[in-house]
Structures are given as C-alpha cells and as structure tokens.
C-alpha cells in the first residue's frame, strides 16, 4: 500500500514539473482545444445538470468551461468541501461572480447562503479532476479521496468525464481497491473512451 502511495506521489510531482515545461500561451492553447472538444461532446450537449470543479494547480482550468455552461443553459453544480468530515455538498451556482467564495482547500466554492443544495442523483454528467489518467479510466487525484468516494455514489447513467492534457495520459495508473475510474477522458488531441 505504501508502495502505491509513493508511486502516485511521484507521478503527481512529475506531472507538476511537466506542466512547467509549457509556456502560459501553450497551456492556454491546449486548454482551449480541450474546451472545444468538451463543448462538442454529445454527452455534454445532451446533459442538463453538470457537476464541475474549480481547478487546483496541475488540473485543467475550468473557469471558462463553467461560465460557458451557462450559455448552454446547463444547471451548473459545484462542490463545497467539508475538510473536517472529508465530504462534499453539491450546490447549484447561478452566477460565477457572486455565488463563489474562497473555500478551505484554497479554491472558490459555492456560497451556501446563495446556492441551493442539489441531490446527487440529479447529476447527468460529472467532470472529475485529476493529475494523471490512463486509457482504462484510471486516475490519480489529489490524494484526499473526495472523488473516489463520490464516483460510486453517482448514478450508473451519469457520465464520469475527466479533462486532461495529453501529457497527463500515462501507460498505467497504479490502482488500489478504493480507486475509482472515469468513463471518458478528453484531452486537447482526442476523446478516450474507457477500454
């Protein structure tokens, strides 16, 4: 088990150094290409309720995606984290500028006074963050386990989709029994359906 944790930690560090190899302009270009694939993606277009995330360093930036979801008339859901209980609440965000505030993990979260809780079974498509993925849907997240606990609770019909830079696709993610997979990974070059 320690061996798995060590390998995952090494991969996270490696991915952080890889990201630094790209200029800000290159990162923006790759992010725009991922966004274009995402907004042309049938599962997104058919969905009504989308769970998204506010990115931390090393994850594909989602600010533009969240804002553009409003243009597509999607119900936008973002998680609010309880770092003591290691849980998430899912809240509807109607205004990107006024409905978010800095949360305990250092990223913006829904303001409970402005945002309504949404039951998990309402979510049609869930965008799952991560630092590395493989073609079988394996993922390495932040190591806190929030999304590994979330994925099994999502409906079987909810599409679990990751956004990643092509360099974040590795041959095989070291997977433990508690690690959960995504169905689809969208990069700047392709859409990968879980093998």
Backbone angles phi, psi at 13, to 5 degrees: -65, -45
Domains annotated for the chain, with CATH where assigned, are 2-193 (3.40.50.10420)
User: Which pLDDT tens digits describe the chain residue by residue (195 residues)?
Assistant: 567 778 888 888 888 888 888 899 999 999 999 999 999 999 999 999 999 999 988 889 999 999 999 999 999 999 999 888 888 999 999 999 999 999 888 889 999 888 999 999 999 999 999 999 999 999 988 878 889 899 999 999 999 999 999 999 999 988 777 778 999 999 999 999 986
User: Interior CA angle at 73 toward 130 and 98, to 5°?
Assistant: 70
For residue 120 the two structure tokens come to 């998990």
| Virtual torsion, Cα 46, 167, 180, 37, nearest 10 deg | 0
Q: Look up the pTM and report it.
A: 0.92
Beta bridge partners of 93: 76
DSSP 1-44: -HHHHHHHHHHHHHHHHHHHTS-HHHHHHHHHHHHHHHHT-HHH
For 73, 94, 151, the CA distances from 148, given in Å and listed in that order, are: 28, 27, 6
Residue 61 carries which DSSP code?
A: P
| Virtual torsion, Cα 89, 93, 98, 101, nearest 10 deg | 30
Q: Which residue has the tokens 């250092």?
A: 106
């Amino acid at each position: 088990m320690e061996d798995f944790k060590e390998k995952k930690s090494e991969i996270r560090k490696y991915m952080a150094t890889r990201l630094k190899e790209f200029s800000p302009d290159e990162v923006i270009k790759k992010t725009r290409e991922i966004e274009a694939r995402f907004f042309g993606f049938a599962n997104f277009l058919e969905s009504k309720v989308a769970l998204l995330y506010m990115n931390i360093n090393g994850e594909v930036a989602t600010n533009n995606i969240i804002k553009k979801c409003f243009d597509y008339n999607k119900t936008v859901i973002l998680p609010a984290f309880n770092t003591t209980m290691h849980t998430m609440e899912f809240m509807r965000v109607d205004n990107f500028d006024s409905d978010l505030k800095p949360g305990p993990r250092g990223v913006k979260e829904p303001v409970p006074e402005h945002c309504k809780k949404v039951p998990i079974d309402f979510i049609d498509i869930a965008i799952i963050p991560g630092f590395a993925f493989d073609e079988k849907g394996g993922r390495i997240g932040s190591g806190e386990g929030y999304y590994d606990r979330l994925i099994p609770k999502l409906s079987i019909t909810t599409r679990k989709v990751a956004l990643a830079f092509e360099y974040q696709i590795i041959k095989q993610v070291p997977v433990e029994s508690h690690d959960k997979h995504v169905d689809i990974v969208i990069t700047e070059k392709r859409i990968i359906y879980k093998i």
